[in-house]
Structure 1
Amino acid sequence: MSRTYKATGINLKSIPLGEADRIVTILTREYGLIRAVAPGARKQKSKLGGRIGLFVVNQLLLAKGRSLDKITQAETLESYPGLSKDLAKLAASQYLAELVLYHALSEQPQEELFELLQEHLRRLEQLPHLTGNQSEISLVLAQLSHGIFHLLALAGIAPQVQICCVTQQSLNPNFSDPDWRVGFSFDAGGTVSFGNQSPPKLHSQLDALELTLLQQLAAPELPPLTQVFPNQPGDPLTLESVKSAWVKLERILREYAQYHFGRSIRSAGLLDSLSLR
Structure 2
Amino acid sequence: MTQRNYKATGINLKAMPMNESDRLVTVLTKEWGLIRAIAPGSRKHKSRLGGRSGLFVVNELLLVKGKSIDKMVQAETQQSFPKLSTDLARLTASQYLAEIALSQALSDQPQEELYYLLLEHLKRLETASKPNILPCLAQATFHLLALAGVAPEVFHCALSRAPLEIELGNPDWKVGFSITSGGVVKPAEIEKIEGDRLQEAQQQYAEYQQERLASQSVHLSNSHGRAAEASGAYSGSSDSESRPSAQMSSAERRQATGLKAKVSKEVARNLGIVDYLSGFELALMQQLSKPELIMMSASLTFPPAGTIGSSQQPLAESGPHQMWRRIEKVLRAYTQYQLDRPIRSAELIDTCFTAPTPVSQTYAP
Task: Return the TM-score normalized by structure 1.
Answer: 0.92
Give how far 1:203 is off. 2.2
Q: 1:133 aligns to what?
A: none
Residue 218 in structure 1 maps to residue 289 in structure 2: yes
Superposition misfits of 4+ residues, deviation over 3 angstroms: 226-234
Q: 2:80 aligns to what?
A: 79
Equivalent residues in 2 for 1:36-47, closer than 5 Å? 36-47=37-48
Cα separation, 1, equivalents of 2:147 and 2:80: 24
Cα separation, 2, equivalents of 1:237 and 1:184: 25
Query: Hey, which of these two has a bigger chunk of helix by percent?
Result: 2
Cα separation, 2, equivalents of 1:275 and 1:145: 13
Equivalent residues in 2 for 1:43-122, closer than 5 Å? 43-122=44-123
Q: What amino acid does structure 2 have at the position aligned with 1:216?
A: Q
The superposition leaves residues 112-170 of structure 1 with CA deviations (integer Å, 9 ceiling, x where unpaired) of: 00000000000000112x4xxxxx2xx11100000000000111111000011122121
Q: 1:252 aligns to what?
A: 330
Give how far 1:234 is off. 5.2
Q: What amino acid does structure 2 have at the position aligned with 1:83?
A: L
Give how far 1:195 is off. 1.2
Larger mean CA deviation between 223-232 and 197-206 belongs to 223-232
Q: 2:138 aligns to what?
A: 145
Structure 2 CA distance for partners of 1:168 and 1:220, relative to 1, 3 Å: same
Give how far 1:2 is off. 3.1
Cα separation, 2, equivalents of 1:166 and 1:97: 32
Give how far 1:229 is off. 3.3
Equivalent residues in 2 for 1:229-248, closer than 5 Å? 229=303, 235-238=314-317, 241-248=319-326
Q: What amino acid does structure 1 have at the position aligned with 2:289?
A: A
Cα separation, 1, equivalents of 2:55 and 2:96: 13
Q: Percent identity?
A: 51
Cα separation, 1, equivalents of 2:285 and 2:100: 19
Cα separation, 2, equivalents of 1:204 and 1:84: 32
Cα separation, 1, equivalents of 2:339 and 2:3: 36
Residue aligned with 1:257, SS: helix
Q: Alignment length, in residue pairs?
A: 268
The superposition leaves residues 14-34 of structure 1 with CA deviations (integer Å, 9 ceiling, x where unpaired) of: 111110000000000000001
Q: Which has the higher contact order (CA 8 A, sep 6+)?
A: 2
Contact 2:302 2:314 in 1 (8 A): no
Query: Rg larger in 1 or in 2?
Result: 2
Cα separation, 2, equivalents of 1:249 and 1:219: 16
Residue 28 in structure 1 maps to residue 23 in structure 2: no
Structure 2 CA distance for partners of 1:275 and 1:254, relative to 1, 3 Å: closer
The superposition leaves residues 54-113 of structure 1 with CA deviations (integer Å, 9 ceiling, x where unpaired) of: 100000000011221000000000000011111101110000000001110011000000
The superposition leaves residues 2-22 of structure 1 with CA deviations (integer Å, 9 ceiling, x where unpaired) of: 310000010000111110000
Residue aligned with 1:24, SS: strand
* Structure 2 spans left out of the alignment, 5+ residues: 195-266, 305-309, 356-365
The superposition leaves residues 215-274 of structure 1 with CA deviations (integer Å, 9 ceiling, x where unpaired) of: 101001112435743785652244x71000000000010010111111100111111122
Residue aligned with 1:195, SS: helix
Structure 2 CA distance for partners of 1:213 and 1:237, relative to 1, 3 Å: farther
Task: Return the TM-score normalized by structure 2.
Answer: 0.70
Cα separation, 1, equivalents of 2:178 and 2:127: 33
RMSD: 1.7
Cα separation, 2, equivalents of 1:42 and 1:252: 39
Residue aligned with 1:211, SS: helix
Residue aligned with 1:30, SS: coil
* Structure 1 spans left out of the alignment, 5+ residues: 131-135
